[in-house]
Structure 1
Amino acid sequence: MTINVDPRTLKYRVAGMDCASCASKIEAAVSRFAGAEEITVNFANQVLAFKLDEARTNPASIEKTIKGLGYGVTPLDGARPGDGDDEDEMAERAWWRTRKARLTLLVAGLTVLGAAVHFGAGVPERWAYMPAAGFGLAFFGRRAWAGALAGTPFSIETLVSVATAGALAIGASSEAAVVIVLFLVGELLEGLAAGRARAGIRSLADLVPRTALVLDGDDTREVPAEKLEVDQIVLVRPGDRVPADGEIVEGASDVDEAPVTGESVPVAKTVGGRVFAGSVNTTGSLKLRVTKTAADNTIARIIRLVEEAQAAKSPTARFIDRFSKIYTPFAILFAALVMVLPPLVLGGDWSTWIYRGLALLLVACPCALVLSTPAAIASALAAGARAGLLIKGGAALEAIGRARTVAFDKTGTLTVGQPKVTDVKALGDVEEARVLELAAAVEARSAHPIAAAILERALADRLPVKPALAARAIAGKAVEGRVGGKVVLVASPRHAREVGALSVENPLVESMEREGKTVVVVTLDGVAVGLVAVRDEPRPDAATAIRGLSGLGISSVMLTGDNARTGEAIGGALGLTVRAELLPDQKLAEIAKLKALGGVAMVGDGINDAPALAAANVGIAMGSGTDVALETADAALLRERVGGVVDMVRLSRATLGNIKQNVAIALGLKAVFLVTTITGTTGLWLAILADTGATVLVTLNALRLLGFRSETIRP
C-alpha cells in the first residue's frame, strides 16, 4: 500500500551565499532532486526554502550537495534537525575569522612565499608558485565539478579553474596564483558588503527589547519579550522601548515611533491608542495589553515582508538572468575561438593565444552583471523599510518609479479621515437636535467615517441615541432604518433627488458643498427633514506632496465617491485634478483610462479601495502598520503622510538609476578588458578584475542606496 505524504516546507540558512550567481547555482542544484518544488532562494538574507516530498528524496542528500558547492547549511524554523555546518558564517564573528578570510590569507601567504623562494633562492617560477596555484586549483576545481554535477557547468569556479589549469600548463604559475588570490579577495569583499546590506534589516529586529515587565495583579515580573502572550498586561516605563504591539489600557505618554514608521515627531498616546513594538515611550508610564505575539508584531511582519520581497525577482533581474544564460556559453565559445583561430589561420603563437583565451574566460564571467539588479533592489528595500516605506518586491519598486500618474483616494488618504460635523440644518418642523438624533440612530452601527462623525456629535450633544431597527446600507448611496415605526433614510443628495425627497437644486446644499463639506440628507417616511454637513480636512503635508510629485513630472488625480463640489474644494486647495461621485466600478474604469496613458500608482486606505489598488500598476496603502496596509497592497506607507509617496518615487528612481550604473560598470569593464586582453595589453591577473573588481564595484554602488533618507519628513 502506498502512503501519500504531503510535501513539507524546509528552510535553511546557507552561509556564504552572497550574490545572485550563488543563489542561481543553489536553485539549479535543488531543482534537480525529485520531489523538490516551489524553490525560493534569497541571497540577501541567505535563506533557501522549498517543498520536498521526502518519500522521493532525503533532505540529507540536498544538504550534502549544497555543502559540496562550498556553502554552509543550517536548518531553520523547525526544519529537520541536522548537524548543520561548523563553519556557519552567519554567526557573529570578526571578518578575519571567517572561512573565506582564512582561505584568502592562506593562498596569499603561499603566493608571498613563492615570490620569496623565486627571487631569493632562484627557484624557477613554474615551481615556486605551484603550491599557491595548485591549492587554489584544487579548491575551486572541486567546487566547479560539484557545480557541474548539480546543473551549473558554466559557473565562475569553472572559469577560474580552467584559466588556472591552463596557466599552469603553459608555465605561467605566478599569474595563476595571483588570479586565485585576487578572486578570493573579491569574494571576501563581496561577502563583507552583502553582510552590511543584511545588517540593515537585522537592525530592525534589534529594536525590540529582550525583556518585558508583565503585571500579575500587583506583582511585576520580568520575562523574555519573545515569550509574551496575547492579552497579557505589560508595564512600559518612561525611556523604555515597547516590547510588543499593544493597546494602552492605562496611562498617557508621547511615543517615539521613528524606529518603526519613520515618523520624526513623538505621537501623543492615551487609553485605547495602539503602540508598536520597538517604539520608545518618552514621558509617562503606560500599561499595555499585548495584541500580537513576538512572531507577529509589526517589526516581525515588516522584516518578513521585506525578506520575501528581496527574494522576488524584478522584471529587470529576470531579463538579465535570461540574458546571462545565453551570454556565458557564447563568451566561452568566443574565448575558445580566440585560442585556436589565430594560430590556425594566421600562424600565431599557440602559447600567446592560449594565454589570451584563458584571460578571456575570466573576462567572460557574468557575476557582476547578474548581481547588478538584485543588489540594488535588496539595498533599496532595506532602506525603504527603515524610512517607513514598505515595498513588497522589485517589480513594485520598479513600477513606482515608472508611474506617470498617481491616483489618490480622498477620505483617509489626502484627508485625515476623521470628518467632523460642521452643520445641522432643519428643513421643516423637525428640530435640528431631532435631525441629528435620527441620523445617529440609523448610522449607529456603521463603520463609515461620516457615520462616526455624526455619532460623535450626537454623543457630544448628549442626545439619546438608540440604534434603528432593520438598518441596512444601500452601497455608495444611503443607509436606511426604522426609528419609532417610521422609515429614516440618511442619503447623499444625489440619491435623495433620485427618490424624490429633495429638489433638483437646493441652494443650502450647494452652498455647503462649495465650502468643501459633505452633505447628507435625512428623510422621514420619504420627506426630507434636515441636512447634516461634515468636513474632512486635508492632511498637513498633502499639498506639499502633490507639488513634489509635479516636480518629478508626475500628474496627480483624486478619485472619490464624494460629491463633485466637495471633491473640487479639496482638490482645488491641493492643486490636483478631481474625478468625483465615483462608484467602485467607476473608479476601476478611471484607473483603466489612466493606465492607457502610462503607468499608474493608486494610493488608498487599503480597505475600501482594494479593487482600485489591485487594478493599478502598483497599489500603495496608507496606514500606520495596520494589518490591511501591510498585507493587501504592493506597497504601504507606515506613517500617515502623503509625502511618503514622493519618497517612494525618489527611492524607486534612485534604484533604477543605480541599476543602470551597475550594468554600465559590469559591461563597461568587460568591454575594456575584452579589447586589452585580445591585444595583449593585459594578462590573466588583470583580467580577473573584469569580474571580481566589477562585482565589488557593483555591490558597493548598490550599498549607496542604504543611505537613502526622506526629504518630506522634517522634525
Structure 2
Amino acid sequence: MDAQVKALSNSTEQAIWLKKILPHAELIAALFSGVLILTGWLFDHNEIHTAAIVSYVAAFIIGGFSKAKEGIEATIEEKELNVEMLMIFAAVGSAIIGYWTEGAILIFIFAVSGALETYTMNKSQKEISALMEIQPEEALRVIDGSEERVHISELALDDIILVKPGERIPADGMITKGRTSIDEAAITGESIPVSKEVDGEVFAGTVNITGSIYIKVTKKSTESLFQKIIQLVQSAQSEKPPSQQFIEKFEGTYVKVVLAVVFLMMFVPHYALGWSWNETFYRAMVLLVVASPCALVSSIMPATLSAISNGARHGILFKGGVHLENLSHLKAIAFDKTGTLTRGKPEVTDVIVREDLDQTELLTVAASIESQSNHPLAQAVVRYAQKQQIAFSSPDHLEDVAGWGVKGQVNGKEWKIGKADFVGREEAFAFASGQAKELAATGKTTVFMADEHGVAAVIALKDLIREETKLALDLLRQEGIYTIMLTGDNEKTAKAIAEEAHLDSFIAECLPEHKVEHLKKLIEKHGTVAMVGDGINDAPALATANIGIAMGEGSDVALETADIVLMKNDLPKIAEAIRLSKKMKRIVKQNVIFSISVITLLIISNFFQVLDLPYGVIGHEGSTILVILNGLRLLK
C-alpha cells in the first residue's frame, strides 16, 4: 500500500512539474540550441570541424523544430508559403554555403523570438485565464437540512446551495435566505461591493463578503453569466479584425515576391555587379531573413488581444476585434432614454398640497391607495412615502378606472388619484396658480389627487437622469462624437431630458421601427454610428447601427444582442472604450510604420553589403519583439 501511495505521489508531482514546464518548452529548446551553438563554435575554434558541424546540426533541429513544424503544417493546410518557411530556407541556404554559425544563430534567434511571441500572446490573454481560474469547482448543496459538497456540474435547477462569508459563489441564482455584500468585480468590473438580500440575483464567480446566504440555482454551470463572459471574450480574441485579415492575405503574396527577388538575387549581382558566387548567395540568404514580414504580421493581433483583455477587466466586453476597430471611426451615437440615459424608474420630484391639508397625511392616503397598484407611477409614489418613513395601510375600498386612475376610500373618505381629466381638467391646471403646467413643461409627469372638496394635490414624477449621464456625454463631446436621443416620449419631455443631459439633439415619439429609420438616416449623414440601448426592446436598433452597445447590468439578452456590452450601466465606459480603440489604432499605426521602415533599412543595407547575417537576424527578430511589446502596452 505504501508503495502504491508513493508511486501515486510521484506521478502527481511529475504531472505538476510537466504542467509548469510545458508552457516554456519552446524557450527551453531555444536556449538549449544556443548552448549547442556555443559548443559548435568552441569545436570550430579548435579546428574539430566534424564535431562542430554535428553540434550545429543538433542546434538546427532542436531550436528550429517548433517553428519548422508550424510553418510546414500551415503551408500544407493553407497551400500558401509563410514567413516561417522563409526562415527555414535562409537557415538551410546558409549551411549549404558553409555559414554554419550564421545559419545556427539565425535558428537560435528565430526560436527565441518565437518563444517570446508565444509568451507575450499568452500574457495578453492573462485576464481571461484569471477569470477561468476563479470559478469554484465545488458547491455546498443543502438537501433536507443536511449539507453535501458536490462538483458544480452536479448542480440542478432549483437546488439550494449555502455560500459562507469569504467564499466565491459557484452558480447563478436567487437568494432565498440571508443578506450580504457581494464583490461583483469579476462580472461588472465594479470594485465597490453590492448589498444583496432575499430575492436578490447573484452570479457565479463573485465573492460573498459579509454574511452566509442560501441560494436557489437558476442556471446550469455551463450556462452561467460567468461562463458566457469567458466564452464571449475567448471568441472575440479568436476573431481577427479587418486590418489583420488584410495583412495575412498580403503575407502570402509578399512571401512569393520575396522568393522571386531572392532567386534573382542569386544570379543578377554576380553578372551585373561582379559579386562572387559565394557573396551573391550569401546576400540572397540575408535578403531572405530581413525581407520577411514577421514584424508587420505581428503589428496588429497582439495589440487587439491586449485591448480586448483590458476592456474585459474593466467591464467592457467586445464581441470581436472588428467592433473594437470600428469604434475608432465612430462619428455619432444614438441613445435610448429609459434605462440608458435615465434610471428607468420614475421618481417623485414635487408634491404640492392644498393649503388646508397636511402633506404627510396626504402622502399616507396616496401610498395606501397606490400600494394596491402595479403601475410604475403608483409604485413610485409608494417608494417615495417609504423613503419619507410614512406608515400606511390598505385602503377600505378601491376601484380601478382603466386609463384614467383609481378611486379609493381611506378612513371613510373618498379619494381620486389620476389624470387631470379624471379630477377635472380646468380645476387641475388652475390648482396652485397653474404650477402643474410649469411642472409638465419641464418634462415631468403630473398625477392629481382630489377629495370631495376638489383637487387636493398634484404629485410630479420624472424618470431621473443617471448621475453619470452628463459626465459621459461631455466626455463624448470631447472626443468629437455627435450625440442624439431617440425616445418614445412626447416633445416636451424629450426636450427637457435632452437639455438636462447635454445632448446635441433628440427625436421624440419614436416607436422601435422609427428608431431604425432614424438610425439609417444618421448613418447616411455621419458614417459610423453606434446605438446604445438596454439590449431588449432596442434590439432592432442595435442590429441596424454600425456598432450596437448594450447597457446590460450583466443581462443575458445584452450579451446576445449587442456588439459591445457594458456589464455595468456605466455610461462613461463608452468614452473609455472609444479612447481604448483610438489608442489601439495609434499603436497599430506605429507598429506598421516601424516594421516597414526596419525592413526597408535592412534590405538597403544588405544590398550595399554592409549588413551581415547575424545583424540582419537581430534587426529583423528584434523589430518583431518590439512591435509585440508595444501592443502589450494596451493591457495597462
TM range (shorter): 0.7 to 0.9
Kept in 2: contact 1:240–1:280 (CA 8 A): yes
Aligned to 2:190: 263
For residue 238 of structure 1, the aligned residue among 140, 154, 165 is 165
> Are the equivalent residues in 2 in contact too, given 1:114–1:129 (CA < 8 A)?
yes
Q: Are 1:302 and 2:229 an aligned pair?
A: yes
The aligned residue for residue 656 of structure 1 is: 585
Aligned to 2:441: 514
C-alpha displacement at 1:169, in angstroms?
A: 2.0
What secondary structure sits across from 2:134 in the alignment? coil
Cα distance in 2 for partners of 1:432, 1:130 equals 91
Q: Which has the higher contact order (CA 8 A, sep 6+)?
A: 2
Task: For 1:416-431, list aligned pairs within 5 A.
Answer: 416-422=343-349
Q: Percent identity?
A: 35
Give the aligned residue type for 1:318.
Q
Note if contact 2:64-2:107 (Cα within 8 Å) is conserved in structure 1: no
Q: Match for 1:341: what amino acid? A: V
Per the alignment, do residues 243 and 147 of structure 1 end up closer, same or farther by CA in structure 2, a change over 3 Å counting? closer
Question: Distance between the aligned counterparts of 2:321 and 2:73, measured in 1?
Answer: 31
1:454 Cα offset (Å): 6.8
Distance verdict in 2 for CA 1:468–1:695, change over 3 Å: farther
- Which structure has the highest helix share of the two? 2
**Hey, what's the Cα distance between the residues in 2 that align with 1:690 and 1:277?**
48
How far does residue 555 in structure 1 lie from its aligned partner after superposition? 2.8
2:543 corresponds to:
614
Aligned to 1:192: 119
Cα gap change, 1:646 to 1:694, in 2 (>3 Å): same
Partner of 2:514: 586
1:112 paired residue number: 38
Alignment match, 2:311: 384
Contact 2:447 2:460 in 1 (8 A): yes
For the 8 Å contact 1:403–1:600, the answer to whether it is kept is: yes
Please tell me the residue identity of whatever aligns with 1:668: S
How many angstroms apart in 2 are the aligned matches of 1:251 and 1:317? Answer: 51
Alignment of 1:302-341 (within 5 A): 302-341=229-268
Deviation, structure 1 residue 207: 2.1
Question: 1:456, CA displacement in angstroms?
Answer: 6.5
Select the residue among 598, 602, 618 that pairs with 2:531: 602
Could you tell me how far 1:165 is from its partner in structure 2? 2.1
Question: Per-residue deviation at 1:388?
Answer: 0.5
Residue in 2 that maps onto 1:8: none
The number of residues matched between the two structures is: 593
Amino acid at match of 2:609: G
2:480 aligned to which of 532, 553, 568: 553
Structure 1 pair 157/312, CA: closer, same or farther in 2 (3 Å)? closer
Shift of residue 508, structure 1, vs aligned partner: 5.6
Q: Which residue matches 2:556?
A: 627
The 8 Å contact of residues 436 and 532 in structure 1, kept in 2 or not, is answered as no
Please state whether the residue corresponding to 1:419 is helix, strand or coil.
Answer: strand
Cα 1:641–1:125, aligned 2, differ >3 Å: closer, same or farther? Answer: same
Q: Cα–Cα, structure 1 residues 209 and 129, in superposed 2: closer, same or farther, change >3 Å? A: closer
Please tell me the residue identity of whatever aligns with 2:485: M
Q: Secondary structure at the match of 2:610?
A: coil
Q: Would the alpha carbon gap of residues 607 and 151 (structure 1) be closer, same or farther in structure 2, given more than 3 Å must change? A: closer
In angstroms, what is the RMSD of aligned CA positions?
A: 4.0
CA contact (8 A) 1:563 1:580 kept: no
CA distance in 2, matches of 1:680, 1:416: 69
Deviation at 1:421, TM superposition (A): 4.4
Post-superposition shift, 1:187?
1.0
Instruction: Return the index of the structure with the highest Cα Rg.
Output: 2
State yes or no: 1:646 paired with 2:575: yes
Q: What one-letter code is carried by the residue in structure 2 that aligns with 1:408? A: F
- The question of whether the paired residues in 2 share the 8 Å contact of 1:133 and 1:173 is answered with no
Give deviations 1:276-315, integer Å, cap 9, x for gaps.
Answer: 1122222222111111222111211001011111222212
Residues 252 and 120 (structure 1 numbering): CA distance in 2 closer, same or farther, change over 3 Å?
A: same
In structure 2, relative to structure 1, the CA distance for the partners of 1:480 and 1:573 (3 Å cut) is closer
1:552 Cα offset (Å):
2.1
C-alpha distance in 1 between matches for 2:417 and 2:475? 42
Q: Equivalent residue of 1:289, what SS?
A: strand
Change (3 A) 1:158 1:588: same
- Unmatched runs of 5 consecutive residues or more in structure 1: 1-86, 472-478, 523-527, 708-715
Match of 1:676 among 599, 605, 610: 605
Shift of 1:559: 2.1
Q: Is the 8 A contact 1:564 1:579 kept in 2?
A: no
Alignment pair present for 1:349 and 2:276? yes
For 2:462 and 2:598, the matched residues in 1 are separated by: 60
CA distance in 1 between partners of 2:26 and 2:493 (Å): 64
Question: Which stretch of structure 1 is more off in the superposition, 555-564 or 251-260?
Answer: 555-564
Could you say what secondary structure the match of 1:230 adopts?
coil
The answer to whether the Cα contact below 8 Å between 1:391 and 1:634 also exists between their aligned partners in 2 is: yes
Residue identity matched to 2:171: A
TM-score, reference length from structure 1: 0.74
Does the aligned pair in 1 maintain the 2:176–2:216 contact within 8 Å? yes
Amino acid across the alignment from 1:683: D
Residue of structure 1 equivalent to 2:321: 394
CA distance in 2, matches of 1:303, 1:417: 29
Preserved contact between residue 144 and residue 155 of structure 1 (Cα < 8 Å): yes
